[in-house]
Amino acid sequence: MSQSPRKPRRKLSSKYVNIGLIGCGSMGSELARAVQRGDAGPARIVSIFDEYVPGRNALAAELEHRPIEAETIPDLTAIPDLDLVVECASQVAVITHAEAVLAAGKSMLIMSSGALVEPGFLKAIMTAAEASGASIYVPSGAVGGIDALRASKPLLEQVTIVTTKKPISLRGAPGFARWENVDITEPTVIYEGSASGAVSLFPANVNVAATVSLAGIGPEATKVKVVADPESPGNVHEIHAVSKAGKFSFRFENMPHETNPKTSFLAVLAAIETLRSICEPGLRIGT
Ligand SMILES: NC(=O)c1ccc[n+]([C@@H]2O[C@H](COP(=O)([O-])OP(=O)(O)OC[C@H]3O[C@@H](n4cnc5c(N)ncnc54)[C@H](O)[C@@H]3O)[C@@H](O)[C@H]2O)c1
């Protein structure tokens, strides 16, 4: 898997990177608007798909250069001169379609990175990508420091992510079930275990845990701690890594995105920056 953003290896069909977008919800719409503003460099959304047709129609109507509305993901992938498929839908969409998209030689930017923690699936899509020459891009999301984890990967001994949220932000997560009616008045550890174990218990944290673990020592070895704290300044992620190259700590106190409060502002910015790194030739810093 390519975790480092770079241009698609196949020859581009035009001066633009032609993008097919899967998922026209909050993140997909933000990325489409960013592409339209030119924030992702020479790119354009040529086709979109969403199983929720009104959402797809609304985004198509909003975009200046109206994209083709595909009826299925295979239809979207089959559009001539498509360079890159951007997934902003769900883990199910990734698990169902990524292998075929990559086997068809289309590079993919995957937002639902939680889908990649299953080792058999990850191996299958990496094999498909290697065979066709396609790349798989995973944005750093709501955290940073991914570059340091990636660079020191063979030397890493321990990686821990501590996520602290207000109790209300953990409500509804399967891993919070026994705390739902408890009055939490001080910082309380709700979960301590592997990243792969956290994925099903705390789906809202799945992308951070998955991306950090894939960059570093893997979903089984990466430790995750989830803390409920009524005084938490928001969604806070701390990454602590011990390696033969040194000890690294990163802390992120994220603001929610203005139009999509369930997503961190940084996750939206990171996705736009990854797209820009793929689409725009020239200087690459920290990749
Ligand atoms: N890696 C990150 O930093 C990061 C950040 C935010 C969101 N995400 C992930 O990106 C995905 C989208 O997030 P969002 O906030 O835009 O969600 P959203 O619910 O606002 O939008 C998702 C859209 O995808 C569509 N969809 C879902 N499954 C589909 C399928 N199988 N086929 C076609 N369309 C499908 C839905 O109808 C919906 O319109 C989620 O999986 C989320 O976990 C990742």
Do residues 118 and 162 both lie within one domain?
no
Pocket test for ligand 1, best of 50, 116, 266, 273 (most atoms within 8 A of CB): 50
21 lines ligand 1 (CB under 6 A): no
50 touches ligand 1 (CB under 6 Å): yes
Q: Do 137 and 54 reside in the same domain of the chain? A: yes
Q: Do 174 and 118 lie in a common domain?
A: no
Minimum-distance ligand 1 atom for the alpha carbon of 270 = 3
137 and 270: one domain?
A: yes
Residue with tokens 């066709």, as numbered in its chain: 132
Q: What is the CATH number of the domain that holds 179?
A: 3.30.360.10
Residue 287 lies in a domain: no
Spot the catalytic one: 65, 237, 240, 257.
237
Domain-located, residue 7: no
Residue 285 is predicted with a pLDDT of 80
Domain check: are 123 and 40 in the same one? yes
The protein residue with its alpha carbon nearest to ligand 1, atom 21, reads 25
Neighbours of 235 (CB within 10 A): 22
In a structure prediction context, what are the per-residue pLDDT tens digits for the chain, which is 287 residues long?
Answer: 544 444 444 455 568 999 999 999 999 999 999 999 999 999 999 999 999 999 999 999 999 999 999 999 999 999 989 999 999 999 999 999 999 999 999 999 999 999 999 889 999 999 999 999 999 999 999 999 999 999 999 999 999 999 999 999 899 999 999 999 999 999 999 999 999 999 889 887 788 999 999 999 999 999 999 999 999 998 999 999 999 999 999 999 999 888 877 789 999 999 999 999 999 888 788 76
What pLDDT sits at residue 4? 43
Same domain, 221 and 271: no
Q: Which domain holds residue 202?
A: 146-256
| Three-state secondary structure call for residue 204 | helix
The verdict on residue 224 lying in a domain is yes
211: Cβ contacts below 8 Å, ≥ 6 apart: 113, 138, 139, 140, 141, 143, 146
Q: What is the pLDDT of residue 2?
A: 45
* Residue 239 beta carbon below 6 angstroms from any ligand 1 atom: no
**Shared-domain flag, residues 172 and 58:** no
Nearest CA to ligand 1 atom 27: 89
User: Distance of CA 227 to CAs 65, 75, 267, Å?
Assistant: 45, 43, 20
Q: Whose CA is nearest to atom 37 of ligand 1?
A: 52
What is the atom index within ligand 1 of the atom nearest the CA of 23? 24
CATH number, domain containing residue 86: 3.40.50.720
Q: Which residues of 27-45 are buried (b: 16+ CB within 10 A; e: fewer)?
A: bbbbbbbbbbeebbbebbb
The verdict on residue 121 lying in a domain is: yes
In a domain, 101, yes or no: yes
Task: Examine the domain organization and report whether 242 and 161 are in the same domain.
Answer: yes
Query: Is the Cβ atom of 88 under 6 angstroms away from ligand 1?
Result: yes
Residue 192: how many other CB atoms lie within 10 Å:
14
Do 49 and 117 fall within a single domain? yes
65 is a catalytic site residue: no
* Per-residue DSSP letter, 264: B
Note whether residue 12 is domain-resident. Answer: no
Q: Are residues 91 and 227 in the same domain?
A: no
Ligand 1 centroid to residue 153 C-alpha, Å: 29
What pLDDT score was predicted for residue 13? Answer: 56
Same domain, yes or no, for 273 and 246? no
Answer yes or no: is 154 within a domain. Answer: yes
Mutate to test the pocket of ligand 1, among 21, 111, 138, 237 (most ligand atoms within 8 A of CB): 111
Model-level pTM? Answer: 0.92
Shared domain for 112 and 130, answered yes or no, is yes
* Residue 6 domain flag: no
Number of folded domains that form the chain: 2
Please tell me if the CB atom of residue 55 comes closer than 6 angstroms to any atom of ligand 1.
yes
